Amino acid sequence: MYEAMTASVTASMPVSESAYGFTQTDIEGQALFSLPFGDIVNFLTPYTAVLFVFALTFTIIALISKPERQVDTVMGGDAYYTKDISRETLRFQRFMAIACGLATMGGIMAGDVFNFTLFTAFIGITNIGIVAAVKNKHILDNAFEYGLLAMIGTLPLFVGAALVLATTGTLSMWILFTPEVAVPLFAKLLLVIGVIAEGMAPVFVAKAEITRAPGAPYILMVHVSSLLIFLRVIEIVISM
Amino acid sequence: MQLIIRKVSRILQNHNNLTAVYALVVIIVAAIGLISIAAGEITFEKDQLYPKTINPDSPLNPYDRGGSPFVPADIKAQYPGNFPAIGYITGYLSPFATALIKISPYFGTTIVAHPGGILDEILYATRGLDTIVETSILFVAFTTAMFLFRRDEE
Amino acid sequence: MMILLYIIFAVIVGLLFHGIHRKVIARIQTRPGPPIWQEFLHVMKFSFKQTWIPKTASKVLFVAIVPAVIAIWAGALYVLFTGGSLLVIFGVYLLHKITEHGLGLSSGSPYGKLGAIRSVLSAASEIPLIASIAGIYFVTGSLMISDIVAYQADHGILLITALPIALAMYVIILSKVPYSPFGIIEAKEIVSGNKTEHFGAFRAGLEVGFALKTFVLLAVFVTLFIGAMPFWMLLIASLILLLTMSFICALTPMLSPYDAVTIQIGVIIIVIIYMAFIAFAGGMP
Amino acid sequence: MIAAISAFAATATAITTSATGTAGTLTSLTVGEIELFGLSNFTIGLVGAIICIFISFYALMREKDDLHRLLLTDLIEVIALIAIALLGTDLAEALILPGLVVGVAELTAMSQIYIVKEKLVREPESYLDIEVMHTAPAIIAVGMLIYGIILSGFTGGAVAGLGMLFYFACKGTEEKTEILEKVSGYAWVMWVVAFIVFMTLPAYWFFALMLAGTGILAKVAIKISILGTMRKNDGSGGRRSMGGNGNV
């Protein structure tokens, strides 16, 4: 079964030599598409394309979906009330969520290590923005912790990218992903922990508390962006 | 065993410990870094992009990227083919800057940002996307700050 | 269009697996338990029940999340059968997490919200996940499933040669089966957790998605660590794997949320030590 | 105390780096070639940076006060810039700028969150009130504005912005912020348009260069001057409530 289906799929894929000498890796398959911006060449592979579509879907959902109204029950009675988000806050959160979605798509497409780290920092700051709009003191406390983490996360991120450049002489993933170029483990580790801090993917504590904030489609973007960028950095680190 | 798990999870679940835990992780990674430097794993690649040359006699020192207005400078980019006008932006000086150079031999030390100074085509064109993202980050951060600031005013 | 048939088949098998899982747990706990086709009947029942969207819900998100669950796992199944990148499948695993958050948050219900918060907490299972993916790449030198299958044909099955990685993956999958000790998002004190407000056809859709998920995860484990095999053997191996998990689920209490996280972090430390060990020992045997 | 030590260490590394970078009259910068004790100057710099990382993150680990941690994060970002600077190429210089801006941007947002979180709404007892703030803002602002426009580009924007910041901080404004933000947004768009022209129509690079140079000048100047309007001094010495109920 595997053989038959693999054969049919590879036959249907166009095999084209790319101008950047990056046709196929053992990790994510064929590059589908590239978009050069000078030295920074963005690209999509089947793997990143999946992530891209997912990010796009959730950005559109954030754009068109109205926030939910959280129900709070009042203890000692049958009463309950719903929390409504003010129009101003809603607009702000929606703006931030969309910016976050765009940053995520940028990070997914990035074909340059430093560009990727910048997009990751961008995600960090939009995430802070989304939660900072909430007035609840507990959530703000957590947002502050989250923000501190995003700030110190820029150190491993940028130092990681700088080390990649220093040890290989390039930042382009097209070159870094080829087997001839070796990136030291230290740089890879720095990149991963940097993304962990920015996107807070597995740093769960403050993020779980942040989830209490109302505005589901926007809060969800925090998670979408952090998980997607985390998936991307794993791909980058493994490919390098 | 169970006690250890409890103890660790008690530290992890306090959000005030978050930065401390992360700082510890960074310190561990930095220690790995020191070890790998000692092991000779991290070596500087001498073949770098956009190498810096310093010409002490140039009035643009230390920001002289070479080239003169409307004559492209010699640039070592990653993908020169992607930007056919390479070298022109770096070589460009505004007429005012050209005039100043003749008067002052230390024009470069003011970190002049005349086009062709610090802001050359690395920032404008070949790696312009970086700068776009960076300005967007600033934009979003300011939006957040202004939003909170203004909401407080009400 | 073969893939569509596969998906339908996988859904049925997955639902059946869920039923068997419940039955085994019940029998271990000396209860009679529901019939094994119970979950299948559930889906049928939910499909024809009245369906509406709660007034407090974020409507688009509330609805969109259900097809998203089905779509990502159908995609994962496709990738698995075409021998594509392992990263895609584990990308899907993480994306599933997002749908979990979305499910809980979209309704505005406090129960759903608690479920979602706990699902964010359980995001720590990503940590053993990276460890195991990195480990597999470290050992086999590729992340294309077809390459990993080929590697096992040459070098023996990974379940034996790379046991700690297999264990990490086992913990990941265990945390996703129903009634698992790591299943903090569906603890009884928060009703059905993040699924609480999705009823009627939405719930049916979710169950279909989750059945696909169970099938895919089990099949991935079998393919990655035992290797290629005929389809009927894949089913049997998945079933055996599920039965081991049923035993664990039946015999262990549910962990408190942060303890679950701590244990998962413990798993990654073991894997890292293992990887460091084989790195120093000079590669795989 | 720890913060002070680590700040010193960071500065020391910065000085060492720049010293090794520009030692003597070199025709080309030789990062990674100068050797000391058998190590290249890049490696030495990197070890220095890692030591700074140890110190600053240890400080962060020990520190419990929110405000101090916020200050420490800024220190940490300086170390990141040092590590980039170790490259010693033109590219490193170009990468420092985004790195720096990200740090500044995050600090701006985080400080505001800190203020909101701690409900720091009490007015200062007294403002800085010196003569130059009454008599000279216009002249200083105009002077810096003109000089900034002459310099053009990023630094020019910073200089012009500082002039405007001083003016707004002294004179006080309330309503101008929104207009400024709008202009800043358009400046940003100019920048993006210029980038697109660079990428799609490289033959028109000169036009795009002018567009980008102007855009970035306006953007940076305005971003900085907005900071000036964010101070609540209305200039007449009168005090205006900062909203809320004035509690601490």
Report the amino acid identity of residue A203: V
User: D28 exposed, middle or buried (CB, 10 Å; 0-12, 13-18, 19+)?
Assistant: exposed
How far apart (Å, rounded) are the C-alpha atoms in residues C136 and B98? 60
Query: Apex CA B21: angle with CA B15 and CA B22, to 5°?
Result: 105
Is D102 in Cβ contact with A165 (below 8 Å)? Answer: no
Radius of gyration of chain C (CA): 19
CA-nearest residue of chain A to D95? Answer: A114
Q: Nearest-CA distance from A59 to chain D in Å?
A: 22
Q: Which residues pair with A25 in a beta bridge?
A: A29
Q: Read off the DSSP letter of residue B49.
A: S
Query: What residues in A contact B148, CB-CB < 8 Å?
Result: 132-133
How far apart (Å, rounded) are the C-alpha atoms in residues C88 and C76? 7
How far apart (Å, rounded) are the C-alpha atoms in residues D18 and D14? 6
Q: Nearest-CA distance from B32 to chain D in Å?
A: 10
Query: What residues in B contact C265, CB-CB < 8 Å?
Result: 8, 12
Domain identity same for B31 and B58: no
Contacts of residue C233, Cβ cutoff 8 Å, sequence gap at least 6: none
Query: What residues in B contact D112, CB-CB < 8 Å?
Result: 144-145, 148-149
The DSSP H or E segment spanning D104 is helix D90-117
pLDDT tens track for D100-140: 888 888 888 888 888 888 877 666 666 667 777 777 788 88
Q: Nearest-CA distance from D133 to chain B in Å?
A: 24
The torsion angles phi and psi of D186, rounded to 5 degrees, stand at: -65, -35
Alpha carbon B82 to its chain's center: 21
SS3 of residue C52 by DSSP: coil
Is B79 in Cβ contact with A190 (below 8 Å)? Answer: no
Neighbours of chain C (3+ CB pairs under 8 A): A, B
Q: Which residues pair with A43 in a beta bridge?
A: A34
Domain identity same for B69 and B116: yes
How far apart (Å, rounded) are the C-alpha atoms in residues D54 and D6? 9
Using left for φ > 0, alpha for ψ between -120 and 50, and beta otherwise, residue D235 falls in left
How far apart (Å, rounded) are the C-alpha atoms in residues C123 and C133? 16
Query: What residues in A contact B133, CB-CB < 8 Å?
Result: 103, 106, 115, 118-119, 122
pLDDT tens track for A87-105: 888 888 889 999 999 999 9
How far apart (Å, rounded) are the C-alpha atoms in residues B13 and B26? 19
Residue A160 contacts residue B31 (beta carbons within 8 Å): no
Task: For residues C45-53, give the mean pLDDT.
Answer: 80
Domain identity same for B91 and B128: yes
Residue C199, CA atoms < 13 Å, CB-side half-sphere: 9
Q: Which of A56-65, A143-152, D82-91, D119-128 has the lowest mean pLDDT?
A: D119-128
Domain identity same for B55 and B8: no
Q: Nearest-CA distance from A146 to chain B in Å?
A: 8
Query: What residues in D contact B154, CB-CB < 8 Å?
Result: 243
Q: Domain for residue B44, yes or no?
A: no
What DSSP string describes D155-182? HHHHHHHHHHHHHHHHH--SSHHHHHHH
The answer to whether C261 contacts chain B (CB < 8 Å) is yes
How far apart (Å, rounded) are the C-alpha atoms in residues C80 and C223? 9
Q: Which of B19, B128, B147 sits opposite A148 (nearest CB)?
A: B19
Contacts of residue B80, Cβ cutoff 8 Å, sequence gap at least 6: B86
Is D113 in Cβ contact with A159 (below 8 Å)? Answer: no
Q: Which of B42, B52, B142 sits opposite D90 (nearest CB)?
A: B52
Which value does ipTM take for this structure? 0.83
Q: What is the pLDDT of residue D16?
A: 44
Is D98 in Cβ contact with A148 (below 8 Å)? Answer: no
Per DSSP bridges, beta strands A24-25 and A29-30 are antiparallel
> Hunting for tokens 């895919």 — which residue is that?
C216
Q: Which of D26, D50, D112 sits opposite B145 (nearest CB)?
A: D112
Q: What is the pLDDT of residue A75?
A: 67
Tell me the pLDDT of chain A averaged across its residues.
Answer: 78
Q: Where are the alpha helices (DSSP H) in D174-204?
A: 176-200
Alpha carbon C95 to its chain's center: 12
Q: Which domain holds residue B135?
A: 51-154
CA-nearest residue of chain A to C89? Answer: A47
Domain identity same for B127 and B86: yes
Q: Read off the DSSP letter of residue A33.
A: E
Neighbours of chain D (3+ CB pairs under 8 A): A, B
Q: Which of A170-174, C98-102, C260-264, D161-165 has the lowest mean pLDDT?
A: C260-264
Q: What six digits make up the tokens of A17? A: 């030599």
Q: Which residues pair with A42 in a beta bridge?
A: A35
Is A152 in Cβ contact with D76 (below 8 Å)? Answer: yes
How far apart (Å, rounded) are the C-alpha atoms in residues A72 and A86? 17
The torsion angles phi and psi of A34, rounded to 5 degrees, stand at: -135, 150
The answer to whether B151 contacts chain A (CB < 8 Å) is yes
Q: Domain for residue B46, yes or no?
A: no
Per DSSP bridges, beta strands D35-36 and A80-83 are unpaired
How far apart (Å, rounded) are the C-alpha atoms in residues A99 and A101? 5
Domain identity same for B17 and B83: no
Is B79 in Cβ contact with A39 (below 8 Å)? Answer: yes
CA-nearest residue of chain B to C263? Answer: B5
How far apart (Å, rounded) are the C-alpha atoms in residues C79 and C183? 26
Q: What six digits make up the tokens of C170? A: 């086992």
Is D151 in Cβ contact with B110 (below 8 Å)? Answer: yes
Query: Which residue from C91, C6, C34, C42 is spatially nearest to C195, judged by alpha carbons?
Result: C42
Q: Name the percent of chain A lying above pLDDT 90.
A: 15
Task: For residues C35-50, give the mean pLDDT.
Answer: 82
Contacts of residue A116, Cβ cutoff 8 Å, sequence gap at least 6: A107, A110, A161, A232, A233, A236
Q: Read off the DSSP letter of residue D28.
A: B
The answer to whether D167 contacts chain A (CB < 8 Å) is no
Contacts of residue C206, Cβ cutoff 8 Å, sequence gap at least 6: C66, C69, C103, C195, C198
Q: What is the pLDDT along chain B (154 residues), one digit of tens a residue?
A: 677 777 777 777 777 788 888 899 899 999 989 988 888 888 888 888 888 777 777 777 777 777 777 888 788 888 888 888 888 887 887 777 778 778 877 777 665 545 544 456 777 788 888 888 888 888 888 888 888 887 766 5
Is D49 in Cβ contact with A151 (below 8 Å)? Answer: no
Query: Apex CA A235: angle with CA C174 and CA C160, to 5°?
Result: 45
Query: What residues in D contact B94, CB-CB < 8 Å?
Result: 152
Q: Nearest-CA distance from A137 to chain D in Å?
A: 6
Query: Which residue from C86, B33, B48, A214 is spatially nearest to D46, judged by alpha carbons?
Result: B33
Q: Which of B18, B29, B36 sits opposite A184 (nearest CB)?
A: B36
Is D116 in Cβ contact with A147 (below 8 Å)? Answer: no
The torsion angles phi and psi of A71, rounded to 5 degrees, stand at: -95, 130
Is B9 in Cβ contact with C259 (below 8 Å)? Answer: yes
Residue A225 pLDDT > 80: yes
CA distance between the termini of chain C: 42
Q: What is the pLDDT of residue D242?
A: 39
Residue D189 contacts residue D161 (beta carbons within 8 Å): no
Is B152 in Cβ contact with D28 (below 8 Å)? Answer: no
Q: Nearest-CA distance from C121 to chain B in Å?
A: 10
Work out how many domains chain B is built from and give that number.
2
Domain identity same for B140 and B104: yes
How far apart (Å, rounded) are the C-alpha atoms in residues D174 and D166? 15
Q: Which of B33, B62, B113 sits opposite D151 (nearest CB)?
A: B113
Query: Which residue from D218, D196, D217 is spatially nearest to D207, judged by alpha carbons?
Result: D196
Task: Grade residue A202 by pLDDT with cuts at 50, 70 and 90.
Answer: low
Task: For residues C176-204, give the mean pLDDT.
Answer: 73
CA-nearest residue of chain D to B72? Answer: D205
SS3 of residue A100 by DSSP: helix
Chain B residues at the C interface, defined by Cβ less than 8 Å, are 5-6, 8-10, 12-13
Domain identity same for B57 and B16: no
Task: Grade residue D26 by pLDDT with cuts at 50, 70 and 90.
Answer: very low
The torsion angles phi and psi of A137, rounded to 5 degrees, stand at: -65, -40
Per DSSP bridges, beta strands D35-36 and A70-73 are unpaired
CA-nearest residue of chain C to B6? Answer: C259
Query: What residues in B contact D29, CB-CB < 8 Å?
Result: 51-54
Residue C37, CA atoms < 13 Å, CB-side half-sphere: 4
Domain identity same for B107 and B64: yes
Using left for φ > 0, alpha for ψ between -120 and 50, and beta otherwise, residue D103 falls in alpha
**Cis peptide, bond prior to residue A202, ω within 30 of zero:** no
> Hunting for tokens 């409530």 — which residue is that?
D241
Per DSSP bridges, beta strands D35-36 and D39-40 are antiparallel
Q: Which of A131-135, A143-147, B94-98 has the lowest mean pLDDT?
A: B94-98
Query: Which residue from A88, A111, A97 is spatially nearest to A173, judged by alpha carbons?
Result: A111
Residue D156 pLDDT > 50: yes
Residue A84 pLDDT > 80: no
CA distance to B59, C195, C219, C267, per residue, from D147 (Å): 19, 63, 69, 61
Is D226 in Cβ contact with B142 (below 8 Å)? Answer: yes
Task: Grade residue D244 by pLDDT with cuts at 50, 70 and 90.
Answer: very low
Q: Domain for residue B45, yes or no?
A: no
Is B112 in Cβ contact with D155 (below 8 Å)? Answer: yes
Q: What six digits make up the tokens of A85? A: 């988000």
